[in-house]
Amino acid sequence: MRLSNEGHLAVVRSTDGTELDTGVWSVRNNQFCRELKKLEPRKMCLTVVSDGTRVQLFDPRGLMFIDARVEGN
């Protein structure tokens, strides 16, 4: 996922950077929430755990949904 400061996001394929979907993101109730246009589930809020360079997102059942590292522009 690529996130903008303005609240827009793009889901991209990691191997070649192809854009798969777009949407919006926000922080609500201390969770990362996103709403996509095509990919399911379209709406989802996830709990965030981060050490500043690594970010892990967990679904409501506590299962890890994303394990990522933070990159600058």
| Side chain identity at residue 7, one-letter code | G
Query: Cα–Cα distances in Å, from 59 out to 5, 18, 73?
Result: 23, 25, 27
Radius of gyration in angstroms for the set of CA atoms belonging to the chain, rounded to a whole number: 12
8, two tokens:
């827009």
Let me know: does 70 contact 54? Beta carbons within 8 Å. Answer: yes
Query: Cα–Cα distances in Å, from 36 out to 1, 22, 24, 32?
Result: 11, 6, 7, 13
Whether residue 25 is predicted with pLDDT greater than 60 in this model: the reply is yes
pLDDT for 59 equals 92
pTM for this model (two decimals): 0.80
Instruction: Name the pLDDT band for 73 (thresholds 50, 70, 90).
Output: low
Whether residue 39 is predicted with pLDDT greater than 70 in this model: the reply is yes
